[in-house]
C-alpha cells in the first residue's frame, strides 16, 4: 500500500476507538497483521501502547 503523508499533515490517534477503526480499515484493504504498525504510522501519529492493546485483543 503506497501512502505517504507529510508529518505536519498527520492526525494523532490516541483514542482506542479511532485506532480500532484505522486497524479495521487497513485489514479490510488486505493489510497483513505484521504490517499494521508500519502502515498505520505512515498516516497517523499513534499511541503505540494503545495500538498494541488493540491489536493483542483483536
pTM equals 0.81
pLDDT in the model for residue 56: 87
Grid cell, residue 15, equals 483514542
Tens of pLDDT, residue by residue over 3-56, are: 666 777 889 999 999 999 999 999 999 999 999 999 999 889 999 999 999 998
pLDDT in the model for residue 1: 53
Amino acid at each position: 500500500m503506497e501512502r505517504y503523508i507529510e508529518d505536519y499533515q498527520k492526525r494523532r490517534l490516541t483514542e482506542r476507538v479511532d485506532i480500532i477503526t484505522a486497524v479495521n480499515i487497513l485489514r479490510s484493504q488486505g493489510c497483513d497483521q505484521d504490517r499494521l504498525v508500519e502502515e498505520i504510522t505512515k498516516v497517523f501519529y499513534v499511541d503505540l501502547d494503545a495500538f498494541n492493546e488493540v491489536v493483542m485483543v483483536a
